[in-house]
Each structure stands twice: as structure tokens, then as C-alpha cells.
Structure 1
Amino acid sequence: MNHNKAYPLLILLVAILLISIIAKPLQAQQWQQVKNQEGIQVYTRAIPGSGIKEFKAVTTINSSLDSVLGVLNDISACPQWVYQCTQPALIQSISFGERYVYQVNDFPFPSRNRDIILHAKLNQSLTTKTITIQLQAAPHFCKNQQTTICKKVNQSKLVRIEKSKGFYLLEPIAKNKIQITWQHHMEPGGNLPNWLVNNLITDAPFYTLKKLARIVQESKYQKAKLKHNAKGLIIGFEVKSW
């Protein structure tokens, strides 16, 4: 055997092995179920480089896609179902499927409340009709804008959440039966201890989806009717009573 040729190959194999060992801890861990109650399953997992865990919550709601989207479209209803949500406001509507919204997150005393600007973008599959609503923090969206709402946002003394990313996945699985998955990771900023935030992220998705299942049954959302284009994709509401 030619040892001169074998050494580079050996070095390459060792390098690949070291890379795989180093990279492994950087991968997100497997989901761990932390709650399974009232038809809602909540999972968390560690995220590389963050002391705050990511959560995923799954449930099935007995209602139409029209009604579920009716609730999600109604920004003013946020405090009635989204955990810790207060002072919601529409900053800018780009289209039916894209907008920027503002809200305050009410953290427990003595922690300071946080506020956030979220960029929400809706996409729908042509084949399955499944809807994904991507949510990502846009902390500087109002920086150079002089609209009334942006002036208010810019004057806020609250801790601004700068890292927040997730999505709602709405999957029709039968007539008037929607499976909802909410997956999210957020860094609240400031000096909150990680253990406190990680405790909250177990409660947040559970109580949010529990209240969503209740509020979606209100008559104003049950009356909602979506409008579709020629391809069958959602472009707005034909009936909207909120």
C-alpha cells in the first residue's frame, strides 16, 4: 500500500468525523411532549445558541376554515384568545395575505412588558388547500415612518422583541374540522431568566389554542365566508362581520 496516498485520505476521514461531531450539538433537538390536555398537545425543544426553547402545539378545531381565518384576521380580538396579548393594532396591510401588526405582551410582575411588530404572510397550497401563516419579528419596520400608529410605536418605552419567528399551519382534515399547528420561537430580550420564559411557553400555546377553539364558535366568525380566485385560492372575505 502506498502510505503517501493513504495519509491524505486518513486526514480527510478524520476531518469529516470531527465536523459531524461538532455539528451534531448545533442541530435542533427532538420534540419533547410537555402537555397533552383537552385535545391539545404541546411540545418543546432546545434551539442551538438559545436558552429559550421552541414550542409546537397541535389541536383539532371543529369549525370551518372560513371561521378560523375570521378570528385570525380580526386583530382587535387578539386579547380574547392569544395568551398575554394586549393593545393590538394594524400597522400596515399590504394585501389580504400580508400585513404588519403590533401588540404588547403582558409579562408577569415584576418583569417589564414587551412589545413586538410582527410581519404576517399567508400562503396556501394549490393541491391540499393547506394554509401557512408565517410570523416574523420586524422590530425596525416603523423606524422611518410617520404614520399615527408608527409614531406611537416609536414612542414606546417597552422592551422591543427583536427575535421572533414561527407559523400557524391550518390543515382541513374533514368537513368543518381543521387541524392547527402553531410552532414558534421567541427571544423576549431584557434580563428575564430563561427558566421563567420556558415555563411560559408551555402555557402560552395551550391557552391560546384552547381559547381559539372557543372564540371561533361565536356567530360573527361562524358567518364568515371566504372569497376564492379561479384557482381556488383565498383572496379575501365575501362575508365579514367583525
Structure 2
Amino acid sequence: MGSFKQVAMVVGLSAVLAQVAHAEDWKVAKDEEGIKISLADVEGSDYKAYRGVTVIKAPLARVKALQEDIAGACAWIHECKTQKLLKQEGDQVWTYTQFNAPWPVTARDSILHVTTTQDADGSLTRKLEGVPKYLPEEKGFVRVAKVEGFWKLVPKGDTTEVTYQVHTEPGGSVPSMVANKFVVDAPFNTLKGLRAKAQKP
């Protein structure tokens, strides 16, 4: 039964990665400070998917531990105001996050279902799936309507290659100028913050 569940999870994860990827459509939007950000159009959406890639001079275990500190991770996630763990079941967690937003955009909150899988080569993938109906909406926040994406950590000796790829439907009304800035700033600042934490002596 365990092996069947694992196969089903890998098949499901592959489908999600293929859906979010649109690999041939990615266009580099920013390549600075060792962090490359690429964007891709997503069919039927007004919002672009983003992908950020960097190499962190720290072992995978350290990067993994920083991600698993749910409340502490808010310190390096772009515009994160607060974050907490709602539930954990084995390699699955459910998290709740509140985000700051620039005026005149209403602050957002998001509920994610995160599933972690590890490959034989030590690589680790965290599938991110928005579950907006998991809790009632909070006053003063617009619930992010949809999140699809993943984190992928690949060990490279003493370093870790990190890929962070997401497509979001932010819910409510977001001016295009703000949305276009977010899809570059969110992965760039998040990866920069994670890297700084991981490489701190």
C-alpha cells in the first residue's frame, strides 16, 4: 500500500510540475546577484507564472530546516507578515500566511497544502497547492484564490541548487503594474532572503 501511495504521489506531482512548467515559454526577467528570475504566460490567466533559481552555499539539510521552520520562514518570504502551521500529517503540512500589500491593494492571506517528496539522489521537492476554502476568510484580508507551484532543492556537494516556481491567482483586484512587479520581486527577494539565512555563519 505504501509503494502504491508513493507512486500515486509521484504521478500526481509530475502532472502538477508539467502543468506549471510551460518550459518553452519562460523568458528571463531578471538575472542579478546570482539569482535568475523567469516568467511565463499561463493560459486563461491574467497573471504570469514565475520561476527563480539560485545556488546556496549551504548543505541541503540546512535549507530544508529553514523551510520547515514555518513561523521563522516568514522572515525571509517576500512581504510575509505572519505565518503559522495549521496541521501536519507525515510529509504533508497545511500553512496559513498573511502578506503585506502596497497601497491601494488590500492585504492578502493564503492557505497552502505542502507535500514533500525526496528522490533517491537526495533531491527534495515541495509541491505547493492553494486550499483557499480550508478556513473561513479573515476580516481585512483578501484570500489568494489559487496557488500552484513547487520548491525543488538539489544537492550539489556542499551547495544546494534551489528552484522556486509558482503561479498565483491573487483574488480581488490587483493593478497590472503591482502584479507585474510582484512576479519578479516575490521570487527574487524570497530566494535572496533564504540564501542569506542559510549562508549566515
Do both share a fold (TM > 0.5)? Answer: yes
**Residues 1:88 and 2:83 are matched in the alignment:** yes
Shift of residue 191, structure 1, vs aligned partner: 1.1
Shift of residue 99, structure 1, vs aligned partner: 0.6
In 2, Cα distance between the equivalents of 1:142 and 1:192?
23
* 1:186 alignment partner in structure 2: 168
In 2, Cα distance between the equivalents of 1:202 and 1:173?
26
* 1:204 alignment partner in structure 2: 186
Conserved 8 A contact 2:107-2:140: no
Conserved 8 A contact 1:89-1:103: yes
* 2:58 alignment partner in structure 1: 63
* 2:40 alignment partner in structure 1: 45
The list of structure 1 runs, each at least 4 consecutive aligned residues, that deviate by more than 6 angstroms after superposition, is: none
In 1, Cα distance between the equivalents of 2:78 and 2:133?
24
Amino acid at match of 1:108: P
* 1:78 alignment partner in structure 2: 73
- Give unmatched runs, 5+ long, in structure 2: 1-20
Q: What does 1:1-242 align with in structure 2 at a 5 Å threshold?
A: 28=22, 30-95=25-90, 97-126=91-120, 128-142=121-135, 154-174=137-157, 176-218=158-200
Shift of residue 142, structure 1, vs aligned partner: 2.7
Moved more, 207-216 or 191-200: 191-200
SS at match of 2:71: helix
Conserved 8 A contact 1:78-1:86: no
SS at match of 2:25: coil
Shift of residue 58, structure 1, vs aligned partner: 0.5
* 2:12 alignment partner in structure 1: none
Query: C-alpha offsets along residues 53-80 of structure 1, whole Å, 9 cap, x if unaligned?
Result: 0001100001011100110001112231
Identity of matched residues, %: 31
> CA 1:45–1:215 in 2, change beyond 3 Å: closer, same or farther?
same
**Which structure has the larger Rg?**
1
Residues matched between the structures, number = 180
> CA 1:155–1:49 in 2, change beyond 3 Å: closer, same or farther?
closer
In 2, Cα distance between the equivalents of 1:78 and 1:190?
26
Conserved 8 A contact 2:56-2:199: no
* Bigger RCO of structures 1 and 2 (CA < 8 A, at least 6 apart): 2
Query: C-alpha offsets along residues 125-167 of structure 1, whole Å, 9 cap, x if unaligned?
Result: 12x2211000110111235xxxxxxxxxx54441111211110
**What RMSD, in angstroms, separates the aligned Cα atoms of the two structures?**
1.6
- Give unmatched runs, 5+ long, in structure 1: 1-26, 144-153, 220-242
Shift of residue 217, structure 1, vs aligned partner: 3.1
Q: What's the TM-score, normalizing by structure 1? A: 0.71
